[in-house]
Protein backbone atom coordinates (compact mmCIF):
# COMPACT_ATOMS: atom_id res chain seq x y z
CA UNK A 1 0.00 0.00 0.00
CA UNK A 2 1.99 3.03 -1.22
CA UNK A 3 0.44 6.52 -1.31
CA UNK A 4 0.86 8.81 -4.35
CA UNK A 5 2.34 12.32 -4.10
CA UNK A 6 -0.39 14.98 -4.26
CA UNK A 7 0.32 18.15 -6.30
CA UNK A 8 0.74 20.37 -3.22
CA UNK A 9 3.73 18.28 -2.11
CA UNK A 10 5.64 18.43 -5.40
CA UNK A 11 9.11 20.00 -5.35
CA UNK A 12 9.01 23.59 -4.08
CA UNK A 13 11.03 26.39 -5.68
CA UNK A 14 14.12 27.18 -3.60
CA UNK A 15 15.33 30.61 -2.57
CA UNK A 16 19.03 31.21 -3.36
CA UNK A 17 20.00 31.19 0.32
CA UNK A 18 18.08 27.95 0.95
CA UNK A 19 19.55 26.24 -2.12
CA UNK A 20 23.03 26.66 -0.60
CA UNK A 21 22.14 23.89 1.86
CA UNK A 22 21.54 20.24 0.98
CA UNK A 23 18.97 18.06 2.73
CA UNK A 24 20.55 14.68 3.42
CA UNK A 25 19.93 11.65 5.66
CA UNK A 26 22.11 11.92 8.75
CA UNK A 27 24.71 9.18 8.64
CA UNK A 28 27.33 8.40 11.27
CA UNK A 29 29.84 10.80 9.71
CA UNK A 30 27.40 13.69 10.26
CA UNK A 31 26.31 12.60 13.73
CA UNK A 32 28.72 14.86 15.66
CA UNK A 33 27.68 18.19 14.03
CA UNK A 34 24.05 17.09 14.09
CA UNK A 35 24.24 16.22 17.78
CA UNK A 36 25.74 19.66 18.50
CA UNK A 37 22.78 21.21 16.67
CA UNK A 38 20.38 19.05 18.68
CA UNK A 39 21.98 20.27 21.94
CA UNK A 40 21.59 23.87 20.79
CA UNK A 41 17.93 23.21 20.02
CA UNK A 42 17.25 21.65 23.43
CA UNK A 43 19.09 24.42 25.28
CA UNK A 44 17.45 27.33 23.46
CA UNK A 45 13.92 25.89 23.09
CA UNK A 46 13.03 23.68 26.08
CA UNK A 47 9.35 24.36 25.32
CA UNK A 48 9.60 22.84 21.83
CA UNK A 49 11.23 19.49 22.62
CA UNK A 50 10.52 16.64 25.01
CA UNK A 51 14.10 15.72 25.91
CA UNK A 52 15.63 17.95 28.60
CA UNK A 53 18.92 19.63 27.63
CA UNK A 54 20.73 18.41 30.78
CA UNK A 55 19.84 14.81 29.99
CA UNK A 56 21.11 15.05 26.40
CA UNK A 57 24.23 17.01 27.36
CA UNK A 58 25.21 14.31 29.89
CA UNK A 59 25.34 11.55 27.27
CA UNK A 60 28.75 10.05 26.50
CA UNK A 61 29.91 9.52 22.90
CA UNK A 62 29.00 5.85 23.30
CA UNK A 63 25.49 6.80 24.51
CA UNK A 64 25.06 9.14 21.55
CA UNK A 65 26.09 6.43 19.13
CA UNK A 66 23.66 4.04 20.79
CA UNK A 67 20.87 6.61 20.44
CA UNK A 68 21.73 6.90 16.77
CA UNK A 69 21.80 3.13 16.19
CA UNK A 70 18.68 2.32 18.23
CA UNK A 71 16.44 5.28 17.37
CA UNK A 72 17.70 7.86 14.86
CA UNK A 73 18.73 5.34 12.20
CA UNK A 74 16.91 2.20 13.33
CA UNK A 75 14.56 0.27 11.04
CA UNK A 76 12.55 2.79 9.02
CA UNK A 77 13.49 5.67 11.33
CA UNK A 78 15.55 8.42 9.76
CA UNK A 79 16.94 11.81 10.67
CA UNK A 80 17.43 14.40 7.94
CA UNK A 81 19.80 17.34 8.15
CA UNK A 82 20.28 20.59 6.27
CA UNK A 83 23.99 20.68 5.51
CA UNK A 84 25.99 23.66 4.28
CA UNK A 85 28.74 23.43 1.67
CA UNK A 86 31.39 23.22 4.39
CA UNK A 87 29.66 20.31 6.16
CA UNK A 88 27.93 22.24 8.96
CA UNK A 89 24.51 20.88 9.98
CA UNK A 90 22.15 23.86 10.35
CA UNK A 91 18.76 22.13 10.43
CA UNK A 92 17.35 18.74 11.32
CA UNK A 93 14.20 16.69 11.67
CA UNK A 94 13.50 13.08 12.53
CA UNK A 95 10.80 10.66 11.43
CA UNK A 96 10.14 7.60 13.56
CA UNK A 97 7.74 4.69 13.36
CA UNK A 98 6.31 2.11 15.68
CA UNK A 99 7.15 -1.56 16.05
CA UNK A 100 3.71 -2.79 17.09
CA UNK A 101 1.82 -4.25 14.14
CA UNK A 102 -1.35 -2.25 14.78
CA UNK A 103 0.62 1.04 14.78
CA UNK A 104 2.92 0.47 11.82
CA UNK A 105 0.73 2.59 9.54
CA UNK A 106 1.76 5.77 11.35
CA UNK A 107 4.98 7.63 11.97
CA UNK A 108 5.90 10.67 14.06
CA UNK A 109 7.83 13.75 13.00
CA UNK A 110 10.15 14.87 15.81
CA UNK A 111 12.97 17.26 16.62
CA UNK A 112 12.40 19.88 13.93
CA UNK A 113 14.99 22.63 14.34
CA UNK A 114 16.66 25.24 12.18
CA UNK A 115 19.58 27.30 13.55
CA UNK A 116 18.47 30.93 14.07
CA UNK A 117 20.92 32.29 11.49
CA UNK A 118 19.36 30.02 8.82
CA UNK A 119 15.69 30.66 9.59
CA UNK A 120 13.20 32.27 7.26
CA UNK A 121 14.63 30.53 4.15
CA UNK A 122 12.18 27.65 3.93
CA UNK A 123 14.65 25.08 5.30
CA UNK A 124 12.06 23.55 7.64
CA UNK A 125 9.75 23.04 4.63
CA UNK A 126 12.52 21.19 2.80
CA UNK A 127 13.32 19.06 5.84
CA UNK A 128 9.64 18.16 6.07
CA UNK A 129 9.53 17.37 2.36
CA UNK A 130 12.39 14.91 2.87
CA UNK A 131 10.72 13.30 5.90
CA UNK A 132 7.38 13.02 4.08
CA UNK A 133 9.00 11.57 0.96
CA UNK A 134 10.82 9.05 3.15
CA UNK A 135 7.58 7.98 4.85
CA UNK A 136 5.85 7.63 1.47
CA UNK A 137 8.47 5.14 0.36
CA UNK A 138 7.74 2.84 3.32
CA UNK A 139 5.19 0.20 2.50
CA UNK A 140 2.10 0.48 4.69
CA UNK A 141 2.73 3.95 6.19
CA UNK A 142 -0.49 5.94 5.82
CA UNK A 143 -0.10 8.96 8.09
CA UNK A 144 2.38 11.24 9.79
CA UNK A 145 1.82 12.80 13.18
CA UNK A 146 3.24 15.81 14.86
CA UNK A 147 2.80 17.58 18.20
CA UNK A 148 3.62 21.27 18.57
CA UNK A 149 3.25 24.03 21.14
CA UNK A 150 0.03 25.84 20.17
CA UNK A 151 1.72 29.26 20.16
CA UNK A 152 4.56 28.15 17.82
CA UNK A 153 3.20 29.87 14.72
CA UNK A 154 6.36 29.46 12.60
CA UNK A 155 6.26 25.68 13.07
CA UNK A 156 2.48 25.42 12.63
CA UNK A 157 2.59 27.40 9.37
CA UNK A 158 5.41 25.29 8.00
CA UNK A 159 3.50 22.08 8.77
CA UNK A 160 0.29 23.44 7.29
CA UNK A 161 2.15 24.33 4.09
CA UNK A 162 3.18 20.68 3.93
CA UNK A 163 -0.43 19.53 4.19
CA UNK A 164 -0.69 18.77 7.91
CA UNK A 165 -3.99 19.65 9.59
CA UNK A 166 -4.66 20.29 13.24
CA UNK A 167 -6.99 17.75 14.79
CA UNK A 168 -6.86 18.51 18.47
CA UNK A 169 -5.33 20.39 21.36
CA UNK A 170 -4.03 19.20 24.71
CA UNK A 171 -4.48 21.89 27.33
CA UNK A 172 -1.50 22.35 29.68
CA UNK A 173 0.53 19.70 27.85
CA UNK A 174 3.64 21.04 29.56
CA UNK A 175 4.32 23.29 32.50
CA UNK A 176 7.71 25.01 32.28
CA UNK A 177 8.80 27.32 35.12
CA UNK A 178 5.19 27.58 36.18
CA UNK A 179 3.95 28.52 32.71
CA UNK A 180 1.39 26.16 31.16
CA UNK A 181 1.67 25.45 27.42
CA UNK A 182 -1.01 23.86 25.25
CA UNK A 183 0.03 21.49 22.46
CA UNK A 184 -1.66 21.09 19.07
CA UNK A 185 -1.79 17.70 17.37
CA UNK A 186 -1.37 17.56 13.60
CA UNK A 187 -1.74 14.80 11.05
CA UNK A 188 -0.88 14.35 7.40
CA UNK A 189 -2.91 11.60 5.76
CA UNK A 190 -0.64 10.32 3.00
CA UNK A 191 -3.47 8.55 1.19
CA UNK A 192 -6.15 11.26 1.65
CA UNK A 193 -4.50 14.65 2.30
CA UNK A 194 -6.44 17.68 3.48
CA UNK A 195 -9.71 16.56 4.89
CA UNK A 196 -9.02 12.87 5.52
CA UNK A 197 -10.79 11.24 8.45
CA UNK A 198 -13.52 13.87 8.57
CA UNK A 199 -11.10 16.67 9.48
CA UNK A 200 -12.09 19.97 7.90
CA UNK A 201 -9.60 22.65 6.75
CA UNK A 202 -10.18 24.60 9.97
CA UNK A 203 -8.63 21.69 11.80
CA UNK A 204 -11.71 20.54 13.68
CA UNK A 205 -13.65 17.31 13.42
CA UNK A 206 -16.68 17.48 11.15
C1 LIG B 1 10.01 26.45 13.50
C2 LIG B 1 11.28 26.46 12.69
C3 LIG B 1 11.77 25.03 12.50
C4 LIG B 1 10.98 27.09 11.32
O5 LIG B 1 12.16 26.97 10.52
P6 LIG B 1 12.43 27.91 9.24
O7 LIG B 1 13.30 27.14 8.31
O8 LIG B 1 12.91 29.23 9.68
O9 LIG B 1 10.97 28.07 8.65
P10 LIG B 1 10.53 29.18 7.56
O11 LIG B 1 11.67 29.52 6.67
O12 LIG B 1 9.29 28.62 7.00
O13 LIG B 1 10.23 30.46 8.41
C14 LIG B 1 9.26 30.42 9.42
C15 LIG B 1 8.74 31.80 9.67
O16 LIG B 1 9.73 32.56 10.34
C17 LIG B 1 9.91 33.82 9.66
N18 LIG B 1 11.31 34.28 9.73
C19 LIG B 1 11.92 34.99 8.79
N20 LIG B 1 13.17 35.27 9.15
C21 LIG B 1 13.34 34.75 10.36
C22 LIG B 1 14.44 34.73 11.25
N23 LIG B 1 15.59 35.31 10.96
N24 LIG B 1 14.27 34.11 12.42
C25 LIG B 1 13.11 33.53 12.72
N26 LIG B 1 12.04 33.50 11.90
C27 LIG B 1 12.16 34.12 10.72
C28 LIG B 1 9.56 33.50 8.25
O29 LIG B 1 9.16 34.67 7.59
C30 LIG B 1 8.43 32.52 8.39
O31 LIG B 1 7.21 33.16 8.58
P32 LIG B 1 6.10 33.10 7.43
O33 LIG B 1 5.72 31.65 7.31
O34 LIG B 1 5.00 33.94 7.97
O35 LIG B 1 6.75 33.63 6.21
C36 LIG B 1 12.39 27.32 13.37
O37 LIG B 1 11.86 28.59 13.63
C38 LIG B 1 12.90 26.71 14.66
O39 LIG B 1 13.82 25.88 14.64
N40 LIG B 1 12.32 27.12 15.81
C41 LIG B 1 12.77 26.65 17.10
C42 LIG B 1 12.49 25.19 17.34
C43 LIG B 1 11.05 24.84 17.08
O44 LIG B 1 10.13 25.52 17.46
N45 LIG B 1 10.88 23.69 16.40
C46 LIG B 1 9.58 23.14 16.12
C47 LIG B 1 9.34 22.08 17.12
S48 LIG B 1 7.69 21.58 17.10
pTM, two decimals, is: 0.87
The one-digit pLDDT tens for each residue of the chain (206 residues) are 444 433 433 455 555 556 689 999 999 999 999 999 999 999 999 999 999 999 999 999 999 999 999 999 999 999 999 999 999 999 999 999 999 999 999 999 999 999 999 999 999 999 999 999 999 999 999 999 999 999 999 999 999 999 999 999 999 999 999 999 999 999 999 997 554 555 444 444 33
- Confidence at residue 205, expressed as pLDDT on a 0 to 100 scale: 38
Residue 45 CB less than 6 A away from ligand 1: yes
Find the helix or strand (DSSP H, E) in which 169 lies: strand 165-176
Q: Which atom of ligand 1 is nearest to the CA of 111?
A: 47
Q: Which atom of ligand 1 is nearest to the CA of 123?
A: 7
Residue 153 CB less than 6 A away from ligand 1: no
Residue nearest to atom 24 of ligand 1 (CA): 119
Let me know: does 164 contact 187? Beta carbons within 8 Å: yes
Residue 38 CB less than 6 A away from ligand 1: no
Pocket test for ligand 1, best of 14, 89, 154 (most atoms within 8 A of CB): 154
- Confidence at residue 11, expressed as pLDDT on a 0 to 100 scale: 52
Instruction: Output the CA 155–ligand 1 centroid distance in Å.
Output: 6
Burial state string for 144-181 with b = 16 or more CB within 10 A and e = fewer than 16 = bebebbbebeebbebbebbbbbbbeeeeebeeeeeeeb
Domains observed in the chain: 17-193 (3.40.630.30)
Q: Which atom of ligand 1 is nearest to the CA of 148?
A: 48
- Confidence at residue 20, expressed as pLDDT on a 0 to 100 scale: 85
Helices (H), the chain: 16-19, 31-44, 53-57, 61-67, 123-136, 153-161
Amino acid sequence: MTATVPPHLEQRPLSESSAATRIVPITRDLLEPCWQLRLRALKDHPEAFGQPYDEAAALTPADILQTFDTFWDFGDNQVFGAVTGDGNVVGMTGVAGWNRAKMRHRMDIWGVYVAPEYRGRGISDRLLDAAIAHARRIDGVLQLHFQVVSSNHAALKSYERSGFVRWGRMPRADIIDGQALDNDFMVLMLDAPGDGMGIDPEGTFS
